Amino acid sequence: MNYAELELTLSRRDGDRYAAELRFSQPGSDADIRLMRDAALIRLDHAALAALASDPAEYGRLLGQTLFADEALRRGFDSARAGAATLDAPLRLRLFVGDSAPELHALRWETLRLPDDDAGIVTSERLLFSRYLSSGDWRPIKLRPKSDLRAVALIANPADLARYRLAPVDVEGEASRFGTALAGQMPLAVLGRAPGGATTPALVDAARRGCDILYIAAHGALIDGEPWLWLEDEAGATVRLSGTDLAQQLAELTERPRLIVLASCQSAGNGEGPALAALGPRLAEAGVPAVLAMQGNISMATVERFMPAFFKELLRDGVVDRAAAAARAAVRGNDDAWMPVLFMRSKSGRIWYVPSFADDNRGRGDEKWEPLLATISDEECTAILGPDLADGVFGPRREVSRRLAEDFNFPLSPNDRDQLPEVAQYLGVRKSIQFLPRTVMQYLADEIRRRHAEALPEELRAAPQGGSRRELTQRFERLIESAWRAQVAADPAEPHRVLAGLPLPIFLSADPSSLLTTALRDAGKDPQEVLCPWNDFCRQAPSVYKSEPDYEPEPARPLVYKLFGRFSDPESLVLTEDDFFDYLIGITRNKDLIPARVRSALSDTALLFLGFHVDDWYFRSFFRSLMSQEGGNRRSRYAHLAVQVGPDEERTIAPALAQRYFEDYFIKGADISVYWGSSEDFIRELDRRWKDW
């Protein structure tokens, strides 16, 4: 569903006056529509609002009268609602409070009512309300398919709660309600059923192992500006966990939960003091895309109705603010219906996606599989593998890039820190080009050890001290293979393993590791690696075409053509921005050195792109060289396919528009169909369909 977007920004002007601005955009557009000539000035009477704290209806009326006292602001708001209604689109209203006015977070915006409308404005699915928070965490919001989601419930009931004059927590009741709300649609782990199970280490470990929805039911409070949760120690006694510590520990994880639901009292602030110090906003600022929290001592009656309604709606489409609106409507008659508050840093509001072809909305997506399977069966498919296909071993290369940028004081834009070629360019200039491959491999090795420590042989768990470049490279390759074998043992549909079992004669690989070659050998094949001749070293390197000029790739003896070099030959690696420019120049000048069988495969077979981001250097460099190849008119005879994860929210202003742009780039520019999903999603489906075929 497409949404109209309205962002209400509040910032301090002077004294008790605040500037209010509106930004509106129509569904499917990233263009802002000007609703007001100048910012409105509003004056908030905090004392008068505090005096109405016990009467949510009157509080909401006063808040609405104050906010919409400015006629231009009211007209702008009405215009946005009317525009959305005309387009039959829900209006997504995001409240953004500027850093200059943190005290506004303590106000109960969820009670807001229009002056001439006695109903609250945030209990309708036609108006989706959330508090939008920016984050200092530049890592993109990465969604996963719904089928892979996992949930964790931490339910803390320390044995000594009476000491703090707190009521016991019904562990089984909470677990049952949460499990029922999920309706069996994802695996659920419950921490707290056994005494001493709801501990901080257990919580962090569960999040580290993979947790998409984290539900925390525990007593909590905001004390002297610091949020606290009453958790357990290993003996079952109370241990208080500060919001600062929890947010910091979650922020340090490679991947954080997509949604955290805080069923503890006062988890969004209690209306007293700076509510930004409360747990909900802190978790959002630490990089969690969506946090649903309570901004007061919410009643069990409201929780028991709100939570099932929220999760029932969430499981429909994964849109958090729509689910929250529907759940608020379910408890609108309760005095504390305003207490659940949603903090988001996700513009789309979505916490998962459903893998599909770009044509699925026209009922044509399933038609793409049969031509692909037929070309694989006929040995007329060429797999083009990007570096992201090995993320299961290395983790996202962007994580490594960010660590390098941080450790070596990369001075350019924070957005550039996750582009390894740009960071490598800086390192090459600051240190030396000779130093660069060793450093990149060292950081990749550290990431492998961090991710796979328990699965590695003892001799590979510690970083080596000294050694020649050759020794370090060989040890690095052994480390990669060990981590990969652990991946295969855990997942039979590991991408390299599945691809190695297909009758493909040629693989073009942008990954410098030997994972694919190892997988092919495990499959009983005899792969031949050849370096793309982009520089002098690659042109002089040994090649099967030098020893066997008549070599013809076949599934039993496939060609693995290394597009951007390999770790075992550091001189062949394409790492820096300058390397990529030299790469384009080199392969243009040396087209005749590219094996004829590779050139013909690019025009006379079906192409399958896996493991690329359309906006990264590896894909753009290869794709431009592909489009300049002769025989492009013959490519239209085959059904080509690119597997692509949807655009990251942090890297694109309008993800939906970016997705359509990428579709046009592939489909209109090169007649390549797009499968929106991860390579792992696609490989699992390909494995299943190939076995059926």
Q: Read off the CATH number of the domain in which 627 is found.
A: 3.40.50
Q: Residues 114, 40: one domain? A: yes
467, part of any domain: no
Sign of CA dihedral 529, 534, 540, 546: positive
295, part of any domain: yes
In DSSP terms, 292 is beta-bridged to 261, 342
| DSSP line for 303-315 | HHHHHHHHHHHHH
Q: Residues 267, 385: one domain? A: no
Looking at the whole model, is its pTM more than 0.95? Answer: no
pLDDT over 50 (residue 374) = yes
What CATH number has the domain bearing residue 234? 3.40.50.1460
Q: Residues 326, 361: one domain? A: no
Task: In whole angstroms, give the CA distance from residue 555 to residue 499.
Answer: 11
pLDDT over 90 (residue 242) = yes
Query: Residue 590 — φ and ψ, nearest 5°?
Result: -115, 35
Confidence of residue 26 (pLDDT cuts 50, 70, 90): confident
Nearest to 221, CA basis, from 191, 251, 179, 262: 262
pLDDT over 60 (residue 361) = no
Q: Residues 174, 83: one domain? A: no
Provide the total of helices (H) and of strands (E) in the chain, helices listed first. Answer: 25, 24
Domain boundary among 353, 386, 408: 353
Average pLDDT score over residue span 60-71 = 91
486, part of any domain: no
Contacts of 140 (CB under 8 A, 6+ apart): 398, 418, 648, 649, 650, 651
In DSSP terms, 562 is beta-bridged to 509, 531
Q: Residues 349, 363: one domain? A: no
In DSSP terms, 11 is beta-bridged to 19
Q: Residues 659, 591: one domain? A: yes
Q: Write down the pLDDT at residue 266.
A: 62
Q: Write down the pLDDT at residue 645.
A: 66
Domain boundary among 80, 101, 132: 132
DSSP letter at 368 equals G
Average pLDDT score over residue span 183-196 = 89
DSSP SS3 for 18:
strand
Contacts of 78 (CB under 8 A, 6+ apart): none
Residue-wise pLDDT tens digits, 400-417: 898 999 999 999 877 788
Q: Write down the pLDDT at residue 656.
A: 60
Q: Residues 340, 381: one domain? A: no
**Amino acid residing at 224:** D
Q: Write down the pLDDT at residue 650.
A: 47
187, part of any domain: yes
Q: Residues 530, 577: one domain? A: yes
Give the CA-trace dihedral at 296, 302, 304, 309, to 10 degrees: -110
How wide is the angle at C-alpha 395 spanned by C-alphas 389 and 399, nearest 5°? Answer: 120
51, part of any domain: yes
Q: Residues 167, 82: one domain? A: no
Q: Residues 596, 656: one domain? A: yes
Q: Residues 66, 170: one domain? A: no
Confidence of residue 27 (pLDDT cuts 50, 70, 90): confident
| Arithmetic mean of pLDDT over the chain | 86
Q: Are 175 and 153 in contact (CB under 8 A)?
A: yes
pLDDT-above-90 percentage for the chain:
47
Q: Are 205 and 454 in contact (CB under 8 A)?
A: no
Residue-wise pLDDT tens digits, 120-179: 777 777 889 999 887 666 566 677 788 788 999 999 999 999 998 888 999 998 899 899
Per the rule left: phi > 0, alpha: psi between -120 and 50, beta: everything else, 168 is beta
Task: In whole angstroms, give the CA distance from residue 143 to residue 646.
Answer: 8
Confidence of residue 480 (pLDDT cuts 50, 70, 90): very high
**Which tokens belong to 27?**
């569904």
Task: In whole angstroms, give the CA distance from residue 237 to residue 271.
Answer: 29
Contacts of 196 (CB under 8 A, 6+ apart): 232, 233, 234, 235, 236
DSSP SS3 for 20:
strand
Query: Residue 522 — φ and ψ, nearest 5°?
Result: -60, -30
470, part of any domain: no
**Which tokens belong to 368?**
């793409």
H helices of 548-632, where?
A: 577-589, 596-604, 617-627
Domain boundary among 79, 110, 132: 132
613, part of any domain: yes
**Amino acid residing at 456:** L
**Amino acid residing at 171:** V
Q: Write down the pLDDT at residue 129.
A: 92
pLDDT over 90 (residue 383) = yes
Domain count, the chain: 3
Q: Residues 235, 302: one domain? A: yes
483, part of any domain: no
- Could you tell me the residue range of the domain that residue 59 belongs to? 4-132
Q: Are 121 and 112 in contact (CB under 8 A)?
A: yes
pLDDT over 80 (residue 29) = no
In DSSP terms, 18 is beta-bridged to 12, 42
